[in-house]
Structure 1
Amino acid sequence: MACSVSTLMARSQERMDSLRVPVATWPMAFWTSHRGISASSWGSRLPILQGSTFGFVAPSLAMLSLPSWKCPEWTLNASQVNVSSPEFTEEWQKRIRELQGAIMVASCIQILVGFSGLIGFLMRFIGPLTIAPTISLMALPLFDSVGNDAGIHWGISFMTIFLITLFSQFLKNIPVPVPVYGGEKKCHTSKFYLFQVFPVLLALCISWFICFVLTVTNTLPSSPIDNGYLARTDTKSNVLRQAPWFRIPYPGQWGRPTISLAGVFGIIAGVVSSMVESVGDYYACARLVGAPPPPKHAINRGIGIEGLGCLLAGAWGTGNGTTSFSENVGALGITKVGSRMVIVTAGFVLLLMGVFGKIGAVFATIPTPVIGGMFLVMFGIISAVGISSLQYVDMNSSRNLFVFGFSIYCGLTIPNWVKKNPEKLQTGILQLDQVIQVLLTTDMFVGGFLGFLLDNTIPGSLEERGILVWNQVQENSKETTLKSSEVYDFPWGIGTKFCTSSYIRVLPFWPRLDHSGKGEVGMSQLAHYSQASSRKHLSGAVETRM
């Protein structure tokens, strides 16, 4: 059997299955929950969850494909390899250590770009014609993988889609009576809009349970070669058996990280793609929850905090970095719940899943077509959110039609061609080849960069480009709006009531004091569901408070 880097890592996956959930989730969960610091609490201040990024996968595979990491001869026959032997363990652990060092060094670049204010400086040149293709291309290129997941069993996928649509669109304004104890009436019932708060979770649980019933009754195919086999809930039962009950990961658990120039340059390209994705996520999340567009200091802070998350992920040896999770942004569009407390709670859940391996392993048994059905809905919303940014732009202008159309189509075409023809972009310089490969295969980077370049070079008025309306967000009445400072400033009055020294406020990531007392006005209120709002009939968008 031919041996490759991917083959060797696949073989070692059996040993890592019991460690996969803790290793992958614990560092960011620790950063989020145990220390009380997250992208939603101290970073961008938006309800965004951090997770593993695909931007690091391509440079990681490129780095591990170097001749120095060629699989040894004794691993060529998989049937004769003892995956629990110290020799084999060292083979995959030294590759993890190489990834650790590259990620930790590259994450320092992201920290510098964020906290130095460089990313915020570039935001003055970014308008709707840059944001629209960037956000849309987060989801559009994923249609192939989503279709493959959903196509494993279209019946279950459509059932999941139907349930999410039913709960989030048709039943969202129907209250469910729940028993409540307290107040003047002691025992009484109160209205709770269950379907609007938990549409995805309800659909997931129902579809998951139905798949379990179909698995127990052997209605679903039991042969791995049959179509629909992955819809069974017992296909990943080995993960549940092998996962430990309790384990605390720690930095350097695979040994001392190593550093190579080729690996660092490759991962830096992934960092650039990750930052572009995160900026798009900030704007998408702000639009979905009705917040004002994020100011520069919030963007600087968010990117810097994400860099710290990547540094921690590298130190703990996850083999990947962290970035804003686009899937979570899509979930916000469905649930209408833009609460920081929800994200903090999710951090605690990740912490439990990382420390208690059995809990995370249970979620690994969710059937693939159920995930595919959810992604069809969520990614569709993300694409629509990106396109909705064009409402500020004069789309009767041939200039704007050219910029958007060309950017988004190139963002789909060029990465697809580069993935199929990687050998045609060889310059002879390995590090440069890795950077070019990663950047040109990242759809968001290609589309966003072309939108940025064309929008800032092709002549056009600020009104035509939508910059005027983009910078002057539509003002609503004081009863339905929030000041931008109330959304993006530090909690507990830090930066506004405390630590307001002029020397500190010079920092590009520190909140700016509003001496006018008016602040920036947003589009709608951010909140979680309170008892007061649950007593009212919700019509249209739900007003929530972060």
Structure 2
Amino acid sequence: MVHHNIQIGLENILRDTAPEEVPGVQNGDVGRTSNVTYGIDDTPPWYLCIFMALQHYLTMIGAIVAIPFILCPALCMLDTDPDRSNIISTMIFVTGLITWLQATFGCRLPIVQGGTISFLVPTLAILGLPVWKCPSEDALVAMPEEDRRIVWMTRMCELSGAIAVSALFQLFLGYFGVIGSLLRYVTPLTIAPTVALVGLTLFDHAASAASQQWGIAAGTFILLTIFSQCLDKVNIPTLSYKRGSGFSISWFPLFKLFPVLITITIMWAICGILTATDVFPEGHPARTDLKVNIIEDAPWFRIPYPGQWGVPTVSVAGVLGMLAGVLACTVESISYYPTTARMCAAPPPPLHAINRGLGTEGLGTVLAGLWGSGNGTNTFGENVGAIGVTKVGSRRVVQYAAGLMVLQGVVGKLGAVFIIIPQPIVGGLFCVMFGMISAFGLSALQYVDLNSSRNLYIIGFSLFFPLVLTRWMSVHSGVIDTGVEALDAVLQVLLSTSILVGGVVGCLLDNLVPGTDEERGLAAWSQQMSLEATTVTTEGDTYDFPIGMSLIRRWKWTYYLPFMPTYEPGKFTALFKRKKES
């Protein structure tokens, strides 16, 4: 996550911060490396945990707030609707809740789980159905406030039900250990179109936001390029404190870690100056005072709760459409688990940790749907990169970060601050973010033979055909007429979801068209995943539950459950074989 997730400089971070070879470490075992300040099981002092947790929070907040800028207009919400800040607060609150569950009882890696753009593609396809078409902006403005709330809340309930039900598939996939049998079909030529099309499909939204003031948008992506690509090796001197040695000067990779936030701050200040001097006329989309009423109307404290927008509704078309986002996130998260373990100097995650992580991510998406965030959850690649930069892989730090997110989700006015970011700045960010998502998907092609005409055919067709089909479907929304209205809606959503069409086309062609394992990149890909079904059941293992392990080890039936730390993959097969022979 897929992804999911926004990959500014992540590949460089992972390459530059790969753990060093440890003498005496063999067969894939990983010990504490000299370049890791805090390992996965280490507990830094509480005051350091707070500051390091703040880094994780600031790293993910840019990606989180980008989602409502696309979601809210699709829900038929006005730009000045104060409920936009409540949706952001709900997203951040759920992010904190699921991150804590994942780090504590899930895969137990220090990863942040949060909203993902991968769910926006099927969301827009669902809301593009004729039944969910928005009234004109003039009609919305003329409506009483209560009627406007009913309009967007009805759509949110539809999304909430679709997200929650579709995520049950990922929950089942993880907790029941199905992932091992499915991985052989999830190849680089499946991942590339699935993830790349997430970014490519959303270019209309980037163009719409950036075109409101191209000068501000251009300044945004120019600064973002300078900070993330040109100044990423430049460190800033900062004052730090270490017990025993006191205060000292350390060098902090500010531009590599926070290029998005620095860019937003600078461009927001420029917009503020141009607003104060009336260079931007009244009502201009780049003015900083355009939506200031949102902060005034937002409550100081508001606790999000399940069903806050109404009872979720479920439709077959919505569930099947959202399933595309769930599959994309599953594929992306799988690739992050072994990467995060290496960066934390932890042992490779065994199969039970992988299964439990995916199951917990599915549970998180179910909860996100029920809470009404309008989105699902996925592993944040930015925070994986932050571990490599800071050399802090402590699980406790991410648990503190989860606490900060929950707190921020309760303080309503903090969520409202992000809504008033001028739209051209958001458009400039989209130009980079969506492009990087596409590039991250295409990076999976490094494992395949790009000199193979077979592979080039699959890549080209699985990327181009979904764009053609989905664009045609959006223009001819009523073209499908089977006589069954429910079936028409299902086909409309499925054929309008580019990541689903691209993933299915790539998967089918790669598994049906003849090709060698080397040509398809399967050998290199399986080595990258490192999903061996190993089990370590010693006391104090990294992937054990924090409580109850002595009791779990005494219960022999837990050895058959794919998500338990005591899981032994061959035990169930052996038991079944013995019963068959007897």
1:458 aligns with 2:521: no
Q: Kindly state the Cα deviation for residue 350 of structure 1 after the two structures are TM-superposed.
A: 3.5
For 1:463-542, what aligned pairs fall within 5 Å after superposition? 463-473=518-528, 490=543, 499=552, 503-510=557-564
Task: Name the amino acid aligned to 2:270.
Answer: I
2:272 pairs with 1:212: yes
2: CA distance, partners of 1:269 / 1:180: 51
User: Do 1:403 and 1:455's aligned partners in 2 also have CA atoms closer than 8 Å?
Assistant: yes
Taking the aligned partners of 2:246 and 2:358, their CA distance within structure 1 comes to 48
Q: Within 5 Å, which residues of 2 pair with 1:334-349?
A: 337=389, 344=399, 347-349=402-404
Question: In structure 1, what is the equivalent of residue 459 of structure 2?
Answer: 404
Asked if 2 retains the 8 angstrom alpha-carbon contact of 1:44 and 1:299, the reply is no
How big is the shift at 1:419? 1.3
Work out which of the residue numbers 11, 20, 23 in structure 1 matches 2:87.
20
Are 2:286 and 2:422, in contact at CA under 8 Å, matched by a contact in 1? yes
Query: Structure 2 unaligned runs (5+)?
Result: 1-72, 570-582
1:433–1:345 Cα change, 3 Å: farther
CA pair 205-495 structure 1, distance change in 2 beyond 3 A: farther
Correspondent of 1:173 among 233, 254, 264? 233
Name the structure 2 match of 1:82.
144
Distance, in Å, in 1 between the alignment partners of 2:264 and 2:139 is 41
Aligned 1:47-446 pairs, distance under 5 A: 47-51=111-115, 53-55=119-121, 57-58=123-124, 61=127, 65=131, 81-84=143-146, 100=160, 103-182=163-242, 186-219=246-279, 221-224=280-283, 229-254=284-309, 257=311, 263-282=314-333, 285=336, 297=352, 300-318=355-373, 320-324=374-378, 328-329=380-381, 337=389, 344=399, 347-446=402-501
Structure 1 counterpart of 2:145, one-letter code: V
Give the match's secondary structure for 1:251: coil
SS of the residue corresponding to residue 233 of structure 1 reads: coil
- After TM superposition, give the deviation of residue 213 of structure 1 in Å: 2.0
The answer to whether the 8 A contact 1:496-1:513 is kept is: no
- Greater RCO (CA < 8 Å, at least 6 residues apart): 2
Contact 2:89 2:408 in 1 (8 A): yes
Identity across the alignment (%): 37
Q: Distance in 1 between matches of 2:196 and 2:213?
A: 27
CA distance in 2 between counterparts of 1:180 and 1:7 reads 45
C-alpha distance in 2 between matches for 1:97 and 1:511? 37
For each residue in 1:389-429, what CA deviation from the matched residue of structure 2 results, as whole angstroms up to 9, or x when unmatched?
22221222211111111111113222111111121223222
From the superposition, tell whether residues 62 and 132 of structure 1 become closer, same or farther in structure 2 (CA, over 3 Å): closer
Report deviation, 1:97.
Answer: 5.3
SS of 2:300's equivalent in the other structure is coil
8 Å Cα contact 2:129-2:477 kept in structure 1: no
Q: Whole-Å Cα distance in 1 between the matches of residues 208 and 397 of structure 2?
A: 31
Contact 1:199/1:335 (CA < 8 Å) preserved in 2?
no
CA displacement, residues 226-249 of structure 1 (integer Å, 9 cap, x when unaligned): xxx222222221211111111123
Q: 1:329 to 1:411 in 2, by over 3 A?
A: farther
User: How much does 1:285 deviate?
Assistant: 4.5
**Quick one: which amino acid aligns to residue 272 of structure 1?**
L
Cα separation, 1, equivalents of 2:556 and 2:547: 14
1:309-333 CA deviation, whole Å, 9 max, x = no partner? 2332343344x341327xx536866
Inter-partner Cα distance in structure 1 for 2:401 and 2:244: 34
Q: Quote how far apart the aligned CAs of 1:439 are.
A: 1.9
**What RMSD over aligned residues (CA atoms) do the two structures have, in Å?**
4.2
The separation in 1 between residues aligned to 2:91 and 2:492, in whole angstroms, is 25
Kept after mapping to 1: 8 A contact 2:470/2:498: yes
1:50 deviates by 1.8
Distance 2:142 2:197 in 1: 44
Structure 2 CA distance, aligned partners of 1:236 and 1:114?
Answer: 43
Contact conserved, 1:245 with 1:358, CA < 8 A, in 2?
yes
In the aligned structure 2, how far is the partner of 1:399 from the partner of 1:41? 43
Cα displacement string for residues 237-267 of structure 1 (whole angstroms, at most 9, x for unaligned residues): 1211111111123334455x365xxx33123
Of the structure 1 ranges 490-499 and 177-186, higher mean CA displacement relative to structure 2 is found in: 490-499
2:101 equivalent in structure 1:
37
- In structure 2, distance between residues paired with 1:93 and 1:149: 24
Aligned length: 481
When residues 82 and 163 of structure 1 are mapped into structure 2, their CA distance, relative to the original with a 3 A threshold, is closer
Judge conservation of contact 2:338–2:529 (CA < 8 Å) in 1: no
What is the TM-score of this pair, normalised by structure 2? Answer: 0.70
Q: How far has the Cα of 1:468 moved from its partner?
A: 1.4
CA contact (8 A) 1:157 1:369 kept: yes
1:101 deviation in Å?
Answer: 5.0
